[in-house]
Structure 1
């Protein structure tokens, strides 16, 4: 009986290590493992750093879209990024009557492509240091790189830094950013 228990424990440990190794290349986000075989929503709901983003996506009615086949690149602002907006902004945006404005802001964080950081860096280099990134929301972000960090400048001049890059998803990739990107209007 004891040898059976040790064999079971050893087998469980090997399975756990194999599962961990399979996802080792994907960074942890918000204290949670991000699994490349799960979609953007399935992973985002587990991140402790993206509760505001998840609430906003739900309020905007974008869950089904971001669970779809994609591919999508999502520049995902953290809760701290949302908290840095002027007082009351998030609460106002989450109201049903402001859904159109919320959708516009959120879709200005989404690109209809699977763009890993190496591809973004190449586009920046090919374009002489700055690359226009059209979003599904109609915004154009300016991507650049400084000291190995990709930055995104929104249409209002706000600058977000990619703090965690290349979080693979089954339907695209997430890059965690430290600022909410805003459209010109």
Structure 2
């Protein structure tokens, strides 16, 4: 696979500390705090996070992120973030064998291999298998939006 792995500060850091240490994931970290998911993602896990880069958040329609970050939209933001989480510690090798991923949000996200590139719901995994004490992180190049419930 042609997906770059990135060294982690330490694998003793939890998912959120690892996200915070990676300079490309600032927006995701802020969104997790705003959505009230900090305790869950700092907890035991294990979880696999598909973390959109800051550049991926920049691709959202104008005003979308600001609107999601409003206190009255906390549930919608939490649903969107949970669509980027699966239970268990899953490497790209594991994920590459799937047709879809059952997200914590409850919806399935399609998984596809395109040559040596792996995507989840159309978001390409650009950073793979970043370890943390309570799971794995994969950086993705777009924010995946779950279907409205």
TM-score by length of 2: 0.92
Match of 1:112 in 2: 87
Bigger drift between 41-50 and 160-169 goes to: 41-50
Determine whether 1:148 maps to 2:116. yes
Instruction: Give unmatched runs, 5+ long, in structure 1.
Output: 1-25, 125-130, 154-158
**Cα deviation code 1:19-42 (max 9, x no counterpart):** xxxxxxx614xxxx4321111011
Determine whether 1:136 maps to 2:104. yes
**Cα deviation code 1:93-132 (max 9, x no counterpart):** 00000000000000000001110011112x23xxxxxx12
RMSD of Structure 2 on Structure 1 (CA): 1.1
Match of 2:49 in 1: 74
Match of 2:10 in 1: 35
For the 8 Å contact 1:68–1:171, the answer to whether it is kept is: yes
Match of 1:50 in 2: 25
Match of 2:70 in 1: 95
- How many residue pairs are counted as aligned between the two chains? 144
Question: Which structure: larger Rg?
Answer: 1
TM-score by length of 1: 0.75
Structure having greater relative contact order (Cα 8 Å, sep ≥ 6): 2
Match of 1:59 in 2: 34
For the 8 Å contact 1:27–1:34, the answer to whether it is kept is: no
| Distance of 1:60 and 1:68 partners within structure 2 | 16
| Distance of 1:35 and 1:141 partners within structure 2 | 29
**Structure 1 segments of 4 or more deviating over 3 A?**
none
Instruction: Give unmatched runs, 5+ long, in structure 2.
Output: none
